[in-house]
Structure 1
Amino acid sequence: MGGIRYVRGDATSPQAKGVKLVGHVCNDRGGWGKGFVLALSRRWPEPERDYRSWYRSRDGFALGAVRFVQVERYVWVANMLAQHGTRRPRRGGVLVRYDALDACLDALGAKAAELGASVHLPRIGCGLAGGRWEAVEPLVEGRLVARGIAVTVYDTD
């Protein structure tokens, strides 16, 4: 079993053969318009449409939930609800909820195993959500790598 593969590039252009799952963190306030989601929307309109519809319906829309959206024959996007709110607290708080992210990654791992897919991620929860990769990486390793799922993390230039 390998570890996480780190590459320079764009997670919306996953570098692998076969079925690919692109995972990213969404907030629980219905906001879509900053960070990685902009790259997603430029590439595929379906994840944003699904997220907004999900938010309006409120059907299972809660921290720790995930929706999987097929955007190409061999590419799926996982909208993972693991960010509480959209504005960072003043005193250095973070918006990412690690327990919710862990639940999302568990669901992502199950879906990847079901599809026989590799997983492709930016450094989830560490941009606008303010999390630390040192806290996220063990969750990715425990929920995905430990299941034998190939994981690639993309760093932009």
Structure 2
Amino acid sequence: MAEITYVRGDATAPLGKGVKLIVHVCNDLGGWGRGFVLALSRRRPEPEAAYRRWHRERAGNDFALGAVQFVRVDPYLWVGNMIGQRGIRTGSKGVPVRYEAIDTALGAVALKAAELGASVHMPRIGCGLAGGSWARIEPLIERRLTAAGLPVTVYDHG
């Protein structure tokens, strides 16, 4: 079984050799404008354009909680836009994070990473604006990704 490697750095510029897959959590409203996605868009415009198109055309595609959109940004780098957040605000239904949706999305990430022979890179998904708990997210990553032998690097900005 692989392990999660924690590093200080920028998840938009993943470390290591070979094919890399950056994954992050998006909301189900089509909003892209705060948090990790701003850093991602500064470096790579393609994931934002693809996400906005995916949301705009959602009547005819799989855009929903738990879905993942994979966007190739160069020959050795992909981005996975995971829908793991209901809305954008904490309210009567609690924080926006949806652990079940992240779990489902990570299952799709595991299949894609295995298909590509890719390592997986991410910030602490679901724990920023989505309001989630790393103590609940980390076991999902271990069950879906590292248990499948996939190398995972988690980046703490710093």
TM-score strictly above 0.5:
yes
Contact 2:27 2:83 in 1 (8 A): yes
Q: How many residues align?
A: 156
Q: Which residue of structure 1 lines up, in the alignment, with residue 112 of structure 2? A: 111
Q: Which residue of structure 2 lines up, in the alignment, with residue 7 of structure 1? A: 7
Q: Which residue of structure 2 lines up, in the alignment, with residue 23 of structure 1? A: 23
Query: Displacement of 1:89 after TM fit?
Result: 1.3
Q: What's the TM-score, normalizing by structure 2?
A: 0.97
Q: Which residue of structure 1 lines up, in the alignment, with residue 66 of structure 2? A: 64
Distance in 1 between residues matched to 2:28 and 2:111, nearest whole Å: 22
Q: Which residue of structure 1 lines up, in the alignment, with residue 132 of structure 2? A: 131
Distance in 1 between residues matched to 2:6 and 2:39, nearest whole Å: 19
The one-letter code sitting in structure 2 at the alignment partner of 1:6 is Y
Deviations 1:17-69 (A, max 9, x none): 00000000000001000000001100000000000000000021100000000
Q: Which residue of structure 1 lines up, in the alignment, with residue 122 of structure 2? A: 121
Contact 2:127 2:133 in 1 (8 A): yes
Moved over 2 A (4+): none
| Aligned residue runs from structure 1 range 40-51, under 5 A | 40-51=40-51
Deviations 1:71-101 (A, max 9, x none): 111000000000000111168x211100000
Aligned partner of residue 16 in structure 2, secondary structure: coil
Distance in 2 between residues matched to 1:90 and 1:130, nearest whole Å: 14
Contact 2:12 2:22 in 1 (8 A): yes
Q: Which residue of structure 1 lines up, in the alignment, with residue 85 of structure 2? A: 83
The one-letter code sitting in structure 2 at the alignment partner of 1:102 is D
Q: What's the TM-score, normalizing by structure 1?
A: 0.97
**Which residues of structure 1 form unaligned runs of 5+?**
none
Q: Which residue of structure 2 lines up, in the alignment, with residue 142 of structure 1? A: 143
Deviations 1:92-142 (A, max 9, x none): x21110000000000000000000000001000000000000000000000
What is the Cα-based RMSD across aligned positions, in Å?
A: 1.0
The one-letter code sitting in structure 1 at the alignment partner of 2:89 is R
Distance in 2 between residues matched to 1:116 and 1:73, nearest whole Å: 13
Matched, 1:95 2:120: no
